[in-house]
Structure 1
Amino acid sequence: MRIAISAFLFTTEAGKRYAGVGRNMARNLEEIVRKDRGDTYHIFVNQGVELPESWQSCPWITWHPIEIKGVAQRLYWEHYRVGKEAKRLGCDLVHSLFANLPYACSLPKTTVIHDAFPRTHSSWYTTRNRLILDWMTATGCRVATRVVTVSEFSKRELSRAYGASMAKIDVCFNGPGNDVSDLDQAGIAAISREGLPDLDVPFVFTVSTLEPRKNLVGLVQAIASVPDVKLYIAGAKGWLNSDLASMVENSPAKDRIVFLGYVSDEQLNLLLNKCTVFTLVSYVEGFGIPVLEAMVAGAPVVTSQTSSLPEVAGEWAFYCDPEKPESIANALLSALGDADNLSRMAKGGQEYAARYSWESCVDSLHDVFRKAIGR
């Protein structure tokens, strides 16, 4: 197959590394570069993206860096010009890494849509972001020959909220977003701790964009009832998070709560290896890559019993109701209160997480391409 990929939203900007959407884009492209599946690709990216040398020299990929000046020009390329270029280049299919597809292009089209949140949880967005994302999602569901999403939960939600036929939606599960692993003592010692707090004390760790959906307010409330552990929070600033700052300032546990901001990939791996417990207590997730990463690194996990998270963690997590801070606290206390069980859950989670990989994700995506063009 000859495949055109619209990847204008792909970025190598370090500060955006935490977002699951960004990691999905990067890992899909990385895996397409890594393994020859017998296809050729024409990939359209923003001219400002710095591509690794190994990507640029990949023999089955032709890169098309396009100078994009502003949103209007990007939308012109995503919704019109990519389709025209794909036909000129003799492509069999157009694929978008995130929602936006060319309307009028007669070629089969596939797109990745991670969730239905702009419609099912609209209050968690600024008005501008909600309108844009809702329009992108609705348009992608309508225009695509096949829609790719990342969990069975998201498949059901996209069908329910946007009217996409279940038969039209395919699930390609994510792999870990970062190169995480279970480090030995030498590996731990080799990673710089510059800018990090004390990692040799008991601490609960979480990583996410600071936004309402991640329920960091509930986690901060819960940690006040969990004595003798610190809470370390890594993640880029998001939106609508003023309540979080106020909650921390007024928390009796405020001296035990540390915001780390951006950390490098290596430091993230170190934090996952050193934490006593990893937690992600979002109200809802389309997949939940950080939970998978924690399990791969051998960290015990406390997470929400909602949405896609039980799909990702299976029986190898301590679950809580994210709507109730006392439930979060009880799950943390349960995890921290039994060292033998904590170790058992961590080991089982690590084995369970091995089923998820970017190779299997892109292999599944390749099957979707074939299905879309009728092969």
Structure 2
Amino acid sequence: METQFARGTPTGLGVYAKALTHALAGRSDVEVVELHDPRFDVWRFDRRVYWDQIRAPQLAAAAQVQVVHFTGGTLPLRPPHPCVLTVHDMAWLRGAVQGRSYSRMYFGALQRRLVRHADAIATDTAVVRDEILSLLQLPQTQVSVCGCGVDGAWFGLARRVAEPPYLLYVGTVEERKDLITAVRALAQLPDVRLVSAGPQTGYAARVRAAAESAGVGERVTLQGFVDEATLRALYCSAIALIFPSRYEGFGLPALQALAAGLPVVASDLPVLREVLGDWALFAPPGDARAFAQCVRSIMEGGPRIEKQTMGGRVHAERMQWPEVADRLVQLYRSVTEPS
């Protein structure tokens, strides 16, 4: 199991690898060997390529395992077999990620060719599965929806909204996440703050500039990465999670919010409808006015919001890591014990 992405400052890739490893380690029918090397910072492009193409295959060969699960969405040129690859989204191939030309070549064009060499591909949602099948022209039997989960610690958090209230955004501050729409919505919500928790890219400067231009600069805080305890405290005190992304593969922060009893305002994307069901308020992507109106509805409260909050927790309880592990173990068996 490739767990390198759970080291250092983990993003969604790291949360996935860490939680899945923990869920699998608690089973008696599978033994997990972690593939990681603390010397490598996979968030640097050169280190990432070295990890993908040299170090990870070396560790996999030395481990002498029956199947290798690559969790970061990329494969080496000569992948060990049998192998399972998790593809969380098609952001690079969709042009939804801004990056230098060599990054686009590696994560886009090259990996588009290499993905085909996986014995099986796991993905988090049916929406992304259909994207993979359409963009890569793969046989349907090669791609399986195994889902994504939410850790049990998110349930039962004690909620107490801070004063003045704040909207919480969780995730990387990058263009496809469209935090500027959240800033523009904030301009229509007097006395409400916006707090962001997650790694930042160059897009963060544009967010700050948009906040100043909208006259809400003092009400916007981009905290960067925070540890797990701080993150949960932020969820507990927020009035809502705002998730204005224009492209997602799953939307784990929004599912965590449902588990924590935190109302969610999200972009009306098919993938977020799939993950969140009827338990979030949805606004058209990029429509700041609609996002602001959804936040007002949450602040006003009432039976509908209470029902959504309670139903959201029940919905999230159906999406936990042991069930994801069950589906992946079946996938491992399918590539190691072909019929």
* TM-score > 0.5, shorter chain as reference: yes
Say whether 1:40 aligns with 2:31.
yes
Contact 1:174 1:356 in 2 (8 A): yes
Amino acid at match of 2:117: V
- 2:36 aligned counterpart, secondary structure: strand
The residue that corresponds to 2:74 in the other structure is 100
Counterparts of 1:328-367 in structure 2, within 5 Å, are: 328-367=291-330
The change in CA–CA distance for 1:352 and 1:164 in structure 2 (over 3 A counts) is same
Q: Distance in 2 between matches of 1:80 and 1:235?
A: 30
Query: 1 or 2, which has the higher helix percentage?
Result: 2
Residue correspondences, number: 333
Q: CA deviation at 1:111?
A: 0.7
- 1:44 aligned counterpart, secondary structure: coil
Q: CA deviation at 1:235?
A: 1.6
Instruction: List gaps (5 residues or longer) in structure 1.
Output: 50-68, 189-197
Q: Per-residue displacement from partner, 1:284-308 (whole Å, max 9, x unpaired)?
A: 1100000011011101111111041
Contact 1:300 1:343 in 2 (8 A): no
Q: Distance in 2 between matches of 1:178 and 1:268?
A: 15
Q: CA deviation at 1:325?
A: 1.7
Say whether 1:21 aligns with 2:25.
no
Q: Distance in 2 between matches of 1:265 and 1:303?
A: 22
Q: Per-residue displacement from partner, 1:267-326 (whole Å, max 9, x unpaired)?
A: 221221221111111011100000011011101111111041111110011000112222
Q: Distance in 2 between matches of 1:311 and 1:130?
A: 28
Counterparts of 1:166-245 in structure 2, within 5 Å, are: 166-176=140-150, 179-184=153-158, 199-245=162-208
Say whether 1:321 aligns with 2:290.
no
Query: What percent of counterpart residues are identical?
Result: 22
TM normalised by structure 2 equals: 0.88
The change in CA–CA distance for 1:321 and 1:107 in structure 2 (over 3 A counts) is same
Q: CA deviation at 1:82?
A: 4.9
Q: Distance in 2 between matches of 1:45 and 1:131?
A: 25
Amino acid at match of 2:94: T
The residue that corresponds to 1:153 in the other structure is 127
1:308 is aligned, of 242, 250, 271, to 271
Computed over aligned residues only, the root mean square deviation of the Cα atoms, in angstroms, reads 2.5
Q: CA deviation at 1:147?
A: 0.4
2:90 is aligned, of 96, 107, 116, to 116
Q: Distance in 1 between matches of 2:234 and 2:191?
A: 18
TM normalised by structure 1 equals: 0.81
The change in CA–CA distance for 1:248 and 1:74 in structure 2 (over 3 A counts) is same
- 1:124 aligned counterpart, secondary structure: coil
Amino acid at match of 2:125: S
Query: 1 or 2, which has the higher strand percentage?
Result: 1
The residue that corresponds to 1:252 in the other structure is 215
Q: Which of 120-129 and 225-234 deviates more?
A: 120-129
Q: Distance in 2 between matches of 1:313 and 1:140?
A: 31
Q: Which of 123-132 and 176-185 deviates more?
A: 176-185
**Structure 1 stretches of 4+ moved >6 Å:** none
Q: Distance in 2 between matches of 1:174 and 1:309?
A: 13
Say whether 1:263 aligns with 2:226.
yes
Instruction: List gaps (5 residues or longer) in structure 2.
Output: 41-45
Contact 2:52 2:75 in 1 (8 A): no
Q: Which of 157-166 and 22-31 deviates more?
A: 157-166
Amino acid at match of 2:7: T
